[in-house]
Amino acid sequence: MSALDKLWQALDERLELEPIVEFIRHKVVPTHRHSWAYYFGGLTLFFFFVQVSTGILLLLYYRPTAEAAFESVQFIVTQVPFGWLVRSIHSWSANLMILSAFAHMFSVYFMGSYAKPRELTWWSGFALLGLAMGFGFSGYLLPWNTLSFFATQVGTDMVSKVPFAGAWLLKFLRGGSEVTGATLTRFFGFHVAVLPMLTSLLLGFHLALIQRQGMHVPASLEQESKRRKPIRFVPNFMMREGVVWLLGLAALAALAAFFPWDLGTKADPFGSAPAGIKPEWYFLFVFETLKLLPAHIFGIEGELIGLGAFAAGGLVWFLVPILDRGRPGGGRGRTFFVLGWLVLAYIVGFTFASFAGVFK
Amino acid sequence: MRCSTAVATLAIGLATAARAAAPAAHAAPAAPAGATADTCLSCHATLTDERLRKPAELAKSDIHLTQGITCAGCHGGDPAAADRAAAMDPRKGFVGVPAPRAIPELCGSCHSNAAYMLRYAPNIPTDQLSQYRTSKHGLALAKGSTDVAVCSSCHGAHGVRPPSDARSPVYPTRIVATCARCHADVALMNKYGIKGNEVAEYEKSVHYAALTQKNDLSAPTCKSCHGAHGATPPGVSSVANVCGTCHVIQLERFDQSPHKDAFAAIDQPACEACHSNHAIVHPQDSWIGVADKQVCAACHSAGDAGATAAGALSGALANAVAAEATVGARVARVKRAGMLMDAAEVKLQDAQQAYIMATVEIHTVTPARVEKQTAAAIADTVAADRDAAAAEREIRFRRTGLFISLAVIALAMVTLIFKIRSMER
């Protein structure tokens, strides 16, 4: 018996690992013409790992104060060996992670994978997307440049519209009435402590649910899935996922080398806001919609109505496993299928229109 | 005749032309005792003749009226009298429309009285009248000219606003148009030996551009060089002092140059000789030289010491400009490729600063002093160029690294794909 076998035996005796190995050995992933959609979740996970590792490297030099934040990022990208690469990959990976998470969410939605018994997976995934956007919002401010400073001012200002708790929430987020060094410090705290902790817990829960329940096969693809031989999770699916991860890595490397993330100019709290100020692309559809609304609708502030509508829309999206009762003959309801396409068209349409300058 | 017409238009038209040509010495009006009914305003506001009604309307925004100095302060009469004849009774000091010749003395009766002005505007000077008497306007008025500017020509007769009010005709952005009312009138100006194109020329200048395009209220207008109340053209000997009020270093350098005595000897005005007077445009390096249309050619010709110096000055500036253009383009190119070039840009700014100093040293017409600054500018561009070269090497290194990484990633992907295929065969 080799030393490795002895070690395994010792661990198995103490931790009863054999059932887990058996589970993995027999775990399979169904195949059908849409099984490519199963890779988006893993790809999002890959970008999350990249974020964690590059984020730790950035932490070695980053200083979260209004006086030193911009200079420390400048130091990272100019003086630290490969600092430019780490910072650029961190920024690009953040955006690709959100993109991949959106792709994952819509693929899950259109395949109706949110239905019973996978409601908890949908809800935890929904919360994870919210946390990812929270990462993006809090991380955007950290370089303390002009654009991020004023975008944070606009973004946090929206919170003040929340009825009753708005003023308190604004003060809580900003650490005062204005965006200052106190805001930067607490955004840093959210970004590197609070959000990672919550994400790790939820991510563990989300992955455990997927392992426990297996991949969902839509009713319309069940026959095809039965005809085709499923693939083993280990090693076949993991190796395929590995190819996708390598593709993601290649995209990150190319983007970081050819389009290094711009640092901009240091924020001047007493300066005037630059023209054409915009949030990150994944908030653009909300931002542009709110801008289009009139100042008052039926005597109520337009922005408040807009935010209320987004909150209601988000709630419907969240509750879709309960609201969609499915078709009598099986499969998901047509109403929610059409709704999904409308939401996707709205988000994509508004985002591209914003980049194209349609709303100027 | 425009000034007198303007005065007549703006002046109150209360009475007929029967009035004293010059009123007796006017005493400063007493400080207002309190709010009383002003029949001048109430009556004139209801008149249908616009010429008579307008003054009452304009008076509402007048700085004097807001301080409690009523129509009677200038026109005399009794503003408390309800009866028209009693209100405009010459026995009560009513003078009607003051004659243009009388206006400076009339305004000066208060504005030259330091004790009186202290009560209203302690921070404004009280020497306007004495300055006016020395001005070209005041001198011509004293000689009997009636078409020269008096106080009301520039400040208005009714609705007078403080010069700091943007609606005042003497506010920096409006004063050029105010002067132009007379000084753009070629026929009127020719009468006084003035061309009448001065305002049109000024409107081509960098000063006018700064005033109107950058809204720079400190940019020189007519009064900055000619004076306001003591308006007069600066003489040959004082032009440099006028320009030197703002262009201090240029004047200092000029005073160190051999041009100072040479210009004085031939009665040549200092700055104006090269820069013109009203149409002062942005100076160009190409002006330096003795070729046709180059400024040095006015006194120097090819082969003389001045021409040699001009060649050296021009060459030094051209070298600095060429170096800055080449390196600036390289830095911009590298920046577009995504590199942070803050340090190089600071060096280019230093180079630009040294170049500006070189253009200032031009006023010494001493090549060694100009070359010292252009050498500093070139040294800064060389340093920026080194940064750009290093950034270009870094770009090459990154791209090489990227291609190697992509090759490794591609190899790993191909290996995995083959392995998957062989497993699933």
Domain ranges of chain B: 2-160, 305-424
Global pTM reads 0.69
Q: Inform me whether the pLDDT recorded for A320 exceeds 90.
A: yes
Question: What was the pLDDT predicted at B27?
Answer: 57
pLDDT in tens, B323-338: 999 999 999 999 888 8
Rounded to whole angstroms, the maximal C-alpha distance in chain A is 81
Q: For residue A28, give the 3-state DSSP assignment.
A: strand
> Nearest CA to B4 among B183, B138, B108, B150?
B150
pLDDT in tens, A201-246: 999 999 999 999 999 998 888 889 999 999 999 899 999 999 999 9
**Residue B108 confidence class, pLDDT cut points 50, 70, 90:** very high
Query: Which chain B residues are closer than 8 Å to A236 by Cβ?
Result: 420, 423-424
Alpha carbon distances (Å) from B328 to B26, B155, B321, B372: 68, 50, 10, 21
Neighbour-count burial for B185-201, b at 16+ CB within 10 Å, e otherwise: beebbeeeebebebbee
Number of helices followed by number of strands (H, E) in chain B: 23, 0
Option in B399, B413, B419 nearest A246 (CB): B413
pLDDT in tens, A174-191: 999 999 999 999 999 999
Query: Which chain B residues are closer than 8 Å to A231 by Cβ?
Result: 424
Lowest model confidence (mean pLDDT) among A81-85, B9-13, B223-227: B9-13
Lowest model confidence (mean pLDDT) among A133-147, B1-15, B212-226: B1-15
Q: Inform me whether the pLDDT recorded for B1 exceeds 60.
A: no
CA–CA separation, A9 and A15 (whole Å)? 10
Q: Inform me whether the pLDDT recorded for B129 exceeds 50.
A: yes
State the DSSP code for A64.
-
Give percent of chain A above pLDDT 90.
Answer: 77
**Structure tokens, B161:** 């606003």
- What one-letter code names the amino acid at A238? M
Give percent of chain B above pLDDT 70.
Answer: 91
Interface of A with B (CB under 8 A): 74, 77-78, 84-85, 231, 235-236, 239-240, 242-243, 246-247, 249-250, 253-254, 257-260, 262-263
Alpha carbon of B341: minimum distance to chain A alpha carbons (Å) = 9
Question: What was the pLDDT predicted at A359?
Answer: 82
Alpha carbon of B406: minimum distance to chain A alpha carbons (Å) = 6
Between positions 392 and 411 of B, the ones with CB within 8 A of A are 398-399, 401-402, 405-406, 409-410
Q: Are the Cβ atoms of B402 and A257 closer than 8 angstroms?
A: yes
Q: Inform me whether the pLDDT recorded for B236 exceeds 80.
A: no
Q: Inform me whether the pLDDT recorded for B221 exceeds 50.
A: yes
Residues sharing a CB contact under 8 Å with residue B27, sequence separation 6 or more, in sequence order? B109
Query: Which chain A residues are closer than 8 Å to B405 by Cβ?
Result: 250, 253
Query: Which chain A residues are closer than 8 Å to B419 by Cβ?
Result: 239
At A300, phi and psi to the nearest 5? Answer: -105, 145
> Nearest CA to A264 among A135, A93, A143?
A143
pLDDT in tens, A329-350: 667 788 999 999 999 999 999 9
Question: What was the pLDDT predicted at A271?
Answer: 86
> Nearest CA to A171 among A157, A181, A185?
A157
Question: What was the pLDDT predicted at B106?
Answer: 93
Neighbour-count burial for B110-124, b at 16+ CB within 10 Å, e otherwise: bbbeeebbeeeeeee
Q: Where are the beta strands (DSSP E) in B108-261?
A: none
> Nearest CA to B95 among B150, B23, B8?
B23
> Nearest CA to B121 among B160, B167, B166, B162?
B162
CB B140 within 8 A of CB B94: no
Question: What was the pLDDT predicted at B396?
Answer: 94
Count of A–B CB contacts within 8 Å?
A: 49
CA–CA separation, A305 and A241 (whole Å)? 43
Interface test with A, best of B400, B403, B416, B421 (most A CBs within 10 A): B416
Alpha carbon of B326: minimum distance to chain A alpha carbons (Å) = 24
pLDDT in tens, B135-158: 999 999 999 998 999 999 999 999
Option in A77, A250, A257 nearest B399 (CB): A257
Residues sharing a CB contact under 8 Å with residue B163, sequence separation 6 or more, in sequence order? B170, B171
pLDDT in tens, B297-312: 999 999 999 999 999 9
